[in-house]
Structure formats: C-alpha cells, structure tokens
Amino acid sequence: MPNFHVQRQSRAAAWFQAPEARNILVSGWPHLARVCETRPNMPVLCVSVMGKPEAFAAMPVQHGVWLNAWNDGYSGDANCAHPWPLPSESIGTLVLHHVTDVLVDREALFEDCFRVLVPGGQLFVLALNPLSPMRRTWWRNGIVSSEPSSLRIALRRKGFHCDTSTMGLGPVWSDTPDPTTGRGAGLRAAYLLHAEKRVIPLTPVRAKSVTHQTVPGLAK
C-alpha cells in the first residue's frame, strides 16, 4: 500500500518553494526574526518548511538550531525524526514556521515541543490562514491549514497556555509582500500564534489546626 501521508506532505512542502508562497514567507520573515530574539540568552529552535537561511545564522541568538521538515522526518542541523535528539527542557524559544501546514498528524510534533521547552518557554506558530482569499494559491496542494482556534485546542491538550489573540500577517489579495500586521488573523494570508509552557508550582497547603475536644465525664 502506498504511503499517502508522505506523498501529501511532500506536495504541500513543495508548494512553499513556489513563487506564490514567496510573498507570504517574505511578509512573515521579519516577525520570525523578532520572535527568535525574545530570549537572547537561551537556545532557540526553529522548525520550518524551508531550508536554513543565512540570515538565521546571523541572528544574535545563542545556540540557534534549525530543522527543516520534509517527508517523514527532519533535516538541517540534524537528520532526525520524533523524538528530536534534544535534551528535555533545553530550549527557551521554539518557532514552528508553517510546519503545521504540512503535517497531518501533529501529536508527536506538539509533544516534542512541550518536552524540549524549559518551564516558561515560548512557542510561536506561524501558519497559513484557511479563511484568507489567498488560499486560492495553495488550494489542492495538500496544505492542511487550520484556524487559530483549532491549533489552540490541540496545544492546550498538550499542556500549553495559549494567548487568546493572534497577529495577522501577509497580504489579503495582493501578489506582493505586505510587512504590515493586523489584529487577529482576519483575512490575512497567515497568522502568528503565541503559547507558553507553564508549570504549576506545588504550593504547600497549611495543615488544619487540631481542635481538642473534651469528652464528657473525663473532664477534671
């Protein structure tokens, strides 16, 4: 039986190499660079549908790791699959750069994201907006774009705390890059979603005071 998952994923990932996708990627690149620098003193992991750009190496981040999602695994700074060959709680900022648009099964992806992030670590998801008129450019290319609410539900199931608002990125109708942003995904071609790995501390509970009762007939 043929592996339909690999075929679909390859076709979807290949769309991001097309000229139609360039305007969306170019529009979102400044924001990707900005979120990578949210914690400059901690390691950064970027998992993307595209190969590692030279600009990423030039960013002032400590121990920046780039993984390129393709077919049923990852390449880039490491050739691997899930689980990633990274220590648990070793990453301060993690960026999913349109990876959710090409992966049908996101369970292993989100589990690894939660595992490698430190407590309080930041997760940023850049994804295509299925409600945008720009979807005409990726329709029938195997893209599995999801609304922000769907991604939030999936992330919360894995333990993430998600912001209730998103940032709209990219053009709405135009075939040229648009570096401006909008509040909410709206009709923009893409959006930026933020989540955080929160760990609830164990708060000691004060023990109840013992009340001594006097038994009738034994009181002196």
Long-range contacts from 85-89, C-beta under 8 angstroms, 24+ separation: 86/45, 86/116, 87/116, 88/115, 88/116, 89/115, 89/116, 89/117, 89/118, 89/119, 89/121
What pLDDT is stored for residue 207 in this prediction?
A: 54
DSSP assignment string, 139-206:
TTTT-----HHHHHHHHHHTTEEE-S--EEES-SS-SS----EEEBSTT-SEEEEEEEE-----PPPP
User: How crowded is the C-beta side of 59, counted as CA atoms within 13 Å?
Assistant: 29
Provide the pLDDT confidence category of residue 153 given band limits of 50, 70 and 90. Answer: very high
* Residue in this structure with the two tokens 């135009």, named with its chain if needed: 174
Work out the average pLDDT over 7-23. Answer: 77
Q: HEC states along 57-95? A: HCCCCEEEEEEEEECCEEEECCCECCCCCCCCCCEEEEE
Secondary structure class of 9 (helix, strand, coil): helix
Work out the average pLDDT over 73-88. Answer: 91
Work out the average pLDDT over 87-91. Answer: 94
Averaged confidence pLDDT in the chain: 83
CA distance 166 to 147: 11
Using the predicted structure, report yes or no on whether residue 210 has a pLDDT greater than 80. Answer: no
Using the predicted structure, report yes or no on whether residue 216 has a pLDDT greater than 60. Answer: no
Reported as a single tens digit per residue, the pLDDT across 163-193 is 988 999 988 988 788 888 888 899 999 999 9
What pLDDT is stored for residue 35 in this prediction?
A: 86
What pLDDT is stored for residue 17 in this prediction?
A: 86
Class of 4-197 per CATH? alpha beta
Tokens (6 digits) for 120:
């309080």
DSSP assignment string, 198-213:
-----PPPPPPPPPPP
CB–CB of 129/98 below 8 Å? no
Work out the average pLDDT over 22-36. Answer: 85
Least Cα distance to 28 among 139, 192, 163 occurs for 192
Which sequence spans correspond to the domains of the chain? 4-197
Element of type H or E holding 16: none
Using the predicted structure, report yes or no on whether residue 122 has a pLDDT greater than 50. Answer: yes
